[in-house]
């Protein structure tokens, strides 16, 4: 028995060492900023979840790149942002989607719930500092442990296959707008959900904001501070919402939070941007037509209000 246990222990120790070596090698190789370098013309970046992903067309808005991605909480946006800015000193302006559902408790799940954690850690695991890794591990140890090999294999495959452009391979987010409009078919579904939102809103008071999301806004603070420390202009932005969007029932709370927590951060609010029905994919996302309309206006607005230096 003794011999068996010693051999099992030694084999496990060698295995753990091998994994650490592989992990270190991947982190080392990916620490090279050349992987993250963008075209020098990119001076503005858009970040956030699906609202940002669908709304801001980087083919229309000059000198911009949209890194919005569905299901992304501020925790992962923060990881992404740090690398983008450190590898691309030419980026002058960061636009972060800040909208009603960023206050929801659900956003915390977008950080730690198994499927979200595994999806994001696969791509950003090597960028996360130990203190934040411990945070994730404490919140969901099983998913975290399962995500580690997925992250390693993902990048071993990247190096092995000599895959294409890093951002395409790792899918750090991009402008994606649907051509569809599902407003009519969704109208009946959302009208029933509106009742739930109304019920929930009774309990939603400004002081209860941290009961809704416990750490999503903490990482928005980190994002803002990081940009400020690097002297990068940061702007909060809210994408258009359909007039019947039930998720904005917490709107007064939203404005209270914004003015109290981020009084010095500029806010571009397009929630009530005038768009026709066929400009929406659903009640909370614009489609390609809506995005085109918005992006044309936004491009001209940015040129006037936030000029770039070349």
Partner 1 sequence: MLFNSLDYFLFLPLVFILYWFITYKKLAVQNGMLLVMSYVFYGWWDWRFLFLLLFSTLLDYFSGIKIHESENPVRRKFWLVLSIGINLGFLGFFKYYNFFAAEFGALLQQLGFNVNEFTFKIIQIILPVGISFYTFHGLSYIIDIYKKRIPAVYNFVEYALFVSYFPLLVAGPIERATHLLPQLQVPRKFNYHQAVTGLRQILWGLFKKVVIADSCAYYANMIFNNSGDYNGSTLFLGALFFTFQIYGDFSGYSDIALGTSKLFGIELLRNFAFPYFSRDIAEFWRRWHISLSTWFRDYLYIPLGGSKGGKWMKVRNTFAIFLVSGFWHGANWTFIVWGFLNALYFIPLLLSNKNRDHINIVAAGKLLPSVSDVGKIAITFFLTVLAWIFFRSADLTQAWDILTTIFSSSLLQPLQVFPKEPLLLIVFFMLIEWLGREHQFALETFGLKWNRWLRLAFYMVLTVMVFMYSGKEETFIYFQF
Cβ nearer to partner 1, comparing 114 with 201: 114
Nearer to partner 1, 8 or 129 (CB): 8
As measured in angstroms, the least distance from the Cβ of 157 to partner 1 is 8
CB of 1 to partner 1, least distance (A): 5
**Least Å from the CB of residue 123 to partner 1:** 13
Nearer Cβ to partner 1, position 148 or 186? 148
Cα(48)–Cα(68) distance, rounded to whole angstroms? 5
Q: Can you give the C-alpha Rg of the chain in angstroms?
A: 21
**Judged by CB, which is closer to partner 1: 144, or 190?**
144
Give least dist CB 6 to partner 1, A: 11
Residue among 23 and 201 whose Cβ is closer to partner 1: 23
Q: How many angstroms separate the CA atoms of 193 and 184, rounded?
A: 15
For partner 1, give the closer residue by CB, 122 or 258.
122
At residue 268, what are phi and psi to the nearest 5 degrees?
A: -100, 110
In the complex, minimum distance from the CB of residue 149 to partner 1, in angstroms, rounded to a whole number: 5
Minimum distance from residue 122 beta carbon to partner 1 (Å)? 8
Give me the residues that bind partner 1 (CB under 8 A), please.
1, 3-4, 7-8, 11, 14-15, 18-19, 22, 118, 142, 145-150, 152-153, 156
Closest contact distance (angstroms) between CB of 206 and partner 1 is 41
* Residue placing its CB nearer to partner 1 in the complex, 47 or 143: 143
């Amino acid at each position: 028995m003794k011999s068996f246990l010693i051999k099992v222990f030694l084999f496990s120790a060698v295995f753990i060492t091998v994994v650490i070596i592989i992990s270190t090698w991947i982190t080392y190789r990916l620490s090279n900023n050349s992987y993250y370098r963008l075209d020098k013309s990119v001076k503005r970046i858009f970040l956030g979840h699906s609202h940002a992903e669908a709304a801001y067309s980087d083919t229309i808005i000059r000198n911009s790149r949209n890194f919005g991605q569905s299901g992304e909480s501020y925790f992962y946006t923060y990881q992404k942002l740090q690398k983008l800015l450190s590898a691309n000193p030419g980026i002058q302006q960061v636009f972060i989607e800040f909208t009603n559902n960023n206050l929801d408790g659900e956003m915390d799940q977008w950080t730690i719930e198994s499927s979200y954690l595994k999806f994001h850690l696969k791509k950003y695991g090597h960028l996360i500092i130990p203190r934040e890794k411990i945070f994730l591990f404490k919140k969901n140890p099983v998913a975290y442990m399962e995500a580690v090999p997925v992250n390693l294999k993902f990048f071993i495959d990247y190096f092995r296959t000599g895959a294409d452009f890093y951002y395409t391979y790792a899918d750090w987010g991009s402008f994606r707008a649907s051509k569809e409009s599902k407003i009519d078919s969704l109208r009946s579904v959302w009208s029933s959900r509106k009742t739930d939102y109304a019920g929930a809103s009774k309990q939603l008071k400004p002081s209860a904001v941290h009961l809704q999301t416990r750490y999503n806004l903490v990482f928005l603070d980190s994002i803002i501070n990081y940009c400020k420390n690097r002297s990068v202009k940061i702007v909060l932005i809210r994408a258009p919402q359909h007039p019947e969007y039930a998720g904005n029932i917490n709107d007064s709370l939203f404005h209270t939070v914004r003015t109290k927590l981020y009084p010095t951060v500029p806010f571009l609010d397009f929630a009530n941007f005038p768009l026709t029905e066929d400009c929406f994919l659903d009640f909370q996302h614009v489609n390609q037509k809506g995005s085109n309309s918005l992006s044309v206006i936004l491009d001209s607005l940015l040129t006037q209000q936030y000029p770039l230096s070349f």
